[in-house]
Amino acid sequence: MKTLSKTEQRERRHRRVRAKVVGTESRPRLSIYKSNTRFMAQLIDDSKGTVIAFASSIEEKGKTPRERAEKAAATLAKRAIEKGVKSVVFDRGGFQYLGTVKAFADSARAAGLEF
């Protein structure tokens, strides 16, 4: 039996999540990606295959990756509400729901997104 690398394990979890999570025009998919230094999130309408809004921790100021992710969540929520999106489906991208991912989700909820 072959052992999978960390990346392959995450991709396998992501495929499993994506089999159940689909974004629509009324409720787009909030997809995230996290690296060691960056945190990126986008709202995707899967029926059309378009990105509605995008935010990244690269644009934000903060001391820790968690602070930058929280500010990126607020920015994304603001951009989404401007485009008329209030309710989303959360796609954690195969990442565990803790640490930076949880902080991002909580901040997005606090900024006005519902999921």
- Model confidence pLDDT, tens digit, residues 1-44: 789 999 999 999 999 999 999 999 999 999 999 999 999 999 99
Q: What is the pTM of this model?
A: 0.90
Residues 6 or more apart whose CB falls under 8 angstroms from that of 72 comprise 39, 40, 41, 55, 56, 57, 59, 60, 104
User: What gap in Å lies between CA 53 and CA 43, rounded to an integer?
Assistant: 5
> CA of 13: how far to CAs of 50, 52, 68, 85, 114, in Å?
23, 24, 25, 27, 24
